[in-house]
């Protein structure tokens, strides 16, 4: 219908021009004039020409820092700001000249990342290639199109219309679709040589390409995307932008915001973070803001701070925010003879896995020892082993190298991972192969020999047990002690170990968000839930040597004593 009206209007205009310039121009020339006029009018109302940023949006547009993070509450213009940045860069229309100009001869590559394919189709494609990123209206005085202001133009709301796409259709050369019906695109090539590639964060980050601009919108599944993004940008001195409501599934966004905070007063910072509030949006009436705040307050202050102010509450998301290496750490010099003595009771905890396995080593001092009297009833976590591409033989060799002839009271294992079997009718559980390989290395537990004790299945009980270990007691001591400098991976994991977040509501739950690279946290929880007790280790005495063996040793010793310098004994 719209196309027919447009065609009819063009025909009427040609007839009007023909009657006006009769005899001085051909019909084809008049049609060309009409097409040119229409194209000029279309270009006048292109979105990038009519877009008017808020003061805080324009501040972020002007910023030429390599990494820009924009977080905040709902409806404060985060994604629109980022989409405009991408469109300006792709079309070579950035008013602040932060990006190099796209050229057909040399590619200009932009990567954009959404949470999943639905995010790519419903949000990223809509912002960049469909009408409606914002609204426009024809000014009653000038009769020119301009951006619609919901407050000033409230009475004219019925006259507004969606703004054209940020990237005009005339600039698109080709589109490669992953799912055309759902508007999920893989790449878009523009006539000026720029290419825009879209990725869902649930896949693996692309590698090898050199990128000019990298945009992540909202949450991502894995924090590997951020590390890989910086690798892709380095050669071309590209830019990284991230727009998000901070309800992260991982620590990547918080890490970037913390980096920006540390560089806040730097002369030439590498990262800048902006936090915008729903209340800052000048296009929303005060009564609407108050109404929204009242509605969200009914769901709790936590939800209100997230949705209105975009408060990341990093510590609130941590599973164990109480942990601090300053509080729970212990120096090697504080241990007896700078190590774990033989009379301490040791535990070994394993979280098996083919791709990545983790082992945690812990020990309890004798209750009547000087150490226990000084630090109270405590357990010292003193060692870790992380194995990639792990199998039973590799696991046993690594544990033997780490532990040597240490005596363990108990071996604890993740029962779910330990029960996994290989394919085949006579296959055995993974934990059986692990125990068998340890036995071949001469390693046995004192409690049940070459066998593992299953870890606790109750997640809430495990979490509560660890939390109690981290609590500071009245005398200033804690149940958990971590050997400083010996567990770098443990410290990395506990710093990034997150609570589960409801992705629909953004509410934080009191249980872990299980994912990759948290094996040592699982081990710690299994150990705490086991409530380990001290059992004095028993060293097996060596069997007395036979008379023949002692006779051969004496004979060899005399031969060595009687050997003259420079001579050897044959036979």
Per-residue pLDDT of the chain (571 residues; tens, 9 = 90+): 455 555 555 556 556 655 666 556 666 766 676 677 777 777 788 889 999 999 999 999 999 999 999 988 888 889 999 999 999 999 999 999 999 888 766 689 999 999 999 999 999 999 999 999 999 999 888 888 899 988 888 888 889 999 999 999 999 999 999 999 999 999 999 999 899 999 999 888 888 889 999 999 988 888 889 989 998 888 888 999 999 887 766 678 878 887 888 888 888 999 999 989 888 888 888 888 888 888 887 877 767 777 887 776 555 678 888 888 888 999 999 999 899 999 999 999 999 988 899 999 999 999 999 999 999 999 999 999 999 999 999 999 999 999 998 999 999 999 887 677 765 555 788 888 899 999 999 899 999 888 999 999 898 999 999 999 999 888 888 999 999 999 999 998 888 888 876 666 656 677 777 766 789 999 999 999 999 999 999 876 555 667 777 788 788 777 766 666 555 556 5
- In angstroms, the first-to-last Cα distance of the chain is 108
- pLDDT on residue 7: 53
* pTM metric for this prediction: 0.61
Q: Is 433 exposed, middle or buried (0-12, 13-18, 19+ CB in 10 A)?
A: buried
| Rounded-to-integer distance, Cα 219 and Cα 217, Å | 7
- pLDDT on residue 263: 86
Q: Is 190 exposed, middle or buried (0-12, 13-18, 19+ CB in 10 A)?
A: buried
Left if phi > 0, otherwise alpha if psi is -120 to 50, otherwise beta: which for 531? left
Give yes or no for a contact between 202 and 116, defined as CB atoms under 8 angstroms apart: yes
| Rounded-to-integer distance, Cα 186 and Cα 209, Å | 15
Q: Where are the alpha helices (DSSP H) in 202-243?
A: 224-233
60, 499, 507, 496: which is closest to 245 by C-alpha? 507
| Alpha-carbon torsion (319, 325, 326, 328), positive or negative | positive
Give yes or no for a contact between 384 and 447, defined as CB atoms under 8 angstroms apart: no
| Rounded-to-integer distance, Cα 396 and Cα 402, Å | 10
Reduced to 3 states (helix: H, G, I; strand: E, B; else coil), residue 562 is: helix
User: Tokens 């532990």 belong to which residue?
Assistant: 403
Output the six-digit token pair for 101. Answer: 């100009």
Going by the DSSP 8-state scheme, the letter that residue 195 receives in this structure is E
The helix-helix angle for 55-62 and 78-91 (nearest 10°) equals: 40
Q: Kindly report the length of the chain.
A: 571
Output the six-digit token pair for 138. Answer: 């024809």
Give yes or no for a contact between 367 and 316, defined as CB atoms under 8 angstroms apart: no
| Rounded-to-integer distance, Cα 318 and Cα 500, Å | 9
Give yes or no for a contact between 437 and 398, defined as CB atoms under 8 angstroms apart: no
Q: Where are the alpha helices (DSSP H) in 47-107?
A: 47-50, 55-62, 78-91
Write phi, then psi, for 201 (nearest 5 degrees).
-75, -5
Strands 271-276 and 345-351: unpaired
- How many C-beta atoms lie closer than 10 Å to residue 570's C-beta? 4
């Amino acid at each position: 219908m719209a196309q027919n009206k447009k065609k009819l209007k063009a025909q009427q205009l040609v007839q009007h021009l023909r009657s006006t310039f009769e005899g001085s121009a051909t019909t084809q020339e008049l049609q060309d004039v009409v097409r040119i006029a229409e194209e000029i009018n279309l270009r006048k109302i292109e979105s990038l020409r009519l877009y008017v940023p808020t003061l805080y949006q324009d501040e972020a547009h002007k910023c030429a820092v390599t990494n820009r993070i924009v977080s905040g509450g709902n409806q404060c213009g985060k994604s629109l700001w980022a989409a405009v940045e991408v469109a300006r860069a792709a079309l070579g229309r950035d008013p602040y000249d932060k990006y190099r100009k796209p050229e057909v001869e040399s590619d200009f590559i932009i990567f954009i990342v959404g949470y999943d394919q639905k995010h790519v189709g419903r949000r990223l494609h809509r912002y960049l290639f469909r009408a409606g990123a914002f609204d426009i209206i024809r000014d009653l005085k000038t009769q020119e199109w301009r951006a619609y202001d919901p407050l000033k133009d409230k009475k004219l709301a019925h006259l507004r219309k969606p703004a054209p796409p940020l990237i005009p259709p005339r600039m698109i050369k080709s589109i490669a679709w992953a799912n055309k019906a759902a508007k999920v695109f893989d790449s878009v090539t523009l006539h000026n040589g720029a290419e825009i590639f879209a990725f869902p964060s649930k896949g693996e980050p692309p590698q090898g390409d050199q990128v000019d601009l990298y945009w992540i919108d909202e949450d991502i599944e894995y924090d590997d995307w951020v590390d890989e993004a910086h690798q892709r940008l380095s050669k071309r001195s590209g830019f990284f932008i991230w727009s998000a409501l901070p309800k992260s599934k991982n620590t990547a966004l918080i890490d970037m915001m913390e980096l920006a905070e540390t560089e806040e007063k730097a002369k030439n910072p590498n990262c800048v973070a902006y936090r915008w509030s729903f209340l800052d949006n000048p296009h929303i009436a005060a009564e609407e803001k108050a109404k929204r705040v009242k509605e969200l307050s009914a769901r709790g202050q936590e939800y209100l701070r997230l949705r209105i102010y975009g408060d990341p509450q990093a510590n609130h998301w941590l599973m164990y925010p109480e942990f601090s290496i300053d509080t729970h750490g212990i120096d090697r010099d504080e241990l007896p003879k700078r190590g774990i003595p033989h009379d301490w009771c040791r535990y070994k905890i394993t979280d098996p896995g083919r791709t990545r396995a983790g082992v945690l080593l812990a020990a309890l001092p004798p209750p009547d020892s000087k150490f226990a009297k000084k630090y109270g009833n405590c357990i010292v976590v003193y060692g870790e082993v992380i194995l990639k591409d792990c199998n039973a033989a590799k696991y046993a060799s690594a544990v033997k190298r780490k532990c040597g002839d240490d005596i363990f009271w108990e071996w604890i294992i993740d029962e779910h991972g330990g029960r996994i079997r290989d394919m085949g009718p006579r296959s055995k559980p993974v934990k059986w192969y692990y125990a068998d390989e340890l036995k071949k290395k001469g390693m046995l537990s004192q409690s049940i020999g070459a066998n593992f004790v299953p870890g606790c299945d109750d997640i809430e009980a495990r979490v509560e047990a660890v939390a109690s270990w981290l609590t500071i007691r009245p005398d200033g001591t804690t149940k958990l002690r971590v050997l400083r400098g010996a567990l770098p991976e443990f410290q990395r994991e506990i710093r990034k170990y997150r609570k589960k977040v409801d992705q629909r509501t953004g509410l934080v739950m009191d249980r872990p968000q299980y994912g990759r690279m948290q094996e040592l946290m699982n081990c710690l929880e299994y150990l705490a839930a086991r409530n380990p007790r001290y059992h004095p280790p028993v060293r097996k005495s060596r069997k007395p040597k036979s008379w023949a063996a002692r006779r051969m040793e004496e004979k060899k010793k005399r031969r060595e004593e009687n050997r003259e310098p420079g001579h050897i004994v044959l036979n």
